[in-house]
Amino acid sequence: GHNSRLSASSSDQPNLPHAPPRTARTPPDTSRMSMVQQLALLLVAGLDLANAHAHPVRSEQGCTCEPGARPFESYHIHVLFYPDLVNDDGSAAPEFSNNTHSSSFARALRKKFVKRFNVPECDDKNIFNLTSLCAFAVDAEGTGGIRNTAPFVNPNWAVFVPVDRYADTVPWMMANRGDLDFLVHPNSCGFTCSPKDHLLWSLWGGNKWPVRFTLD
């Protein structure tokens, strides 16, 4: 069963450098939007109808986070790597710069992915309501984006994957990751179901890395 709590201290996770814990940001309250905002969202939703796989999360009201309660609306791929560490003289710390989990290897994979799929940059202020494959800015410190709850304690780079792009992007990542580890998780209902999205319904390529969420 899945009743036991999962945490970053799980025995199947490698001994990796941890950043100090941070308090998760509170998800935005969409229940108090003005009438103008709601009409604007409806207009955007109408414009997105031409894309059969447009990401439809506009409100998290009514989420149950139960298996099969609603279809997965999109996915995120996260590639985890060691932080950039420097010596007192500013030179790169060799134990990390030459490691296959280092930032340089991870950034090279990102560049290769972006070139292979002709991927534009994502709007970092909007991590769920996107309509096409895009790459988020590199999170070099594991702090998350503006609206991110920062589930990772380590640096990572991520891409937004619409449902119809899963079949070509995820197998490519499996074949080209090298020694890097990556997480693929669904987006089932915005921030509300993030713990289950990241821990229960996710897939790892390589080793598991720490994730701050827990399951009740």
What digits encode the pLDDT tens for the residues 15-36?
554 444 444 444 444 444 444 3
Give domain status of residue 13, yes or no: no
Q: What is the pLDDT of residue 10?
A: 40
Which two three-digit tokens encode residue 202? 């996710």
Residue 216, exposed/middle/buried by CB under 10 A (0-12, 13-18, 19+)? Answer: exposed
Q: What is the pLDDT of residue 33?
A: 41
Digit-coded pLDDT (tens) for 184-203:
999 998 888 999 999 999 99
Give domain status of residue 181, yes or no: yes
Distance in angstroms (rounded) separating the CA atoms of residues 214 and 7: 5
Its domain, for residue 193, covers 30-205
Residue 14 pLDDT more than 70? no
User: What 3-state DSSP class applies to 199?
Assistant: helix
Which CATH number goes with the domain that contains 136? 3.30.70.1240
Q: How many domains does the chain have?
A: 1
**pLDDT tier for residue 70 given thresholds of 50, 70 and 90:** confident
Give domain status of residue 7, yes or no: no
Give domain status of residue 2, yes or no: no
Strands (E), the chain: 74-80, 134-135, 156-162, 181-187, 203-205
Give domain status of residue 68, yes or no: yes
Distance in angstroms (rounded) separating the CA atoms of residues 42 and 35: 11
Give domain status of residue 19, yes or no: no
Give domain status of residue 79, yes or no: yes
- DSSP secondary structure code for residue 205 in this structure: E
Give domain status of residue 216, yes or no: no
The pLDDT of 167-172, averaged and rounded, is 98
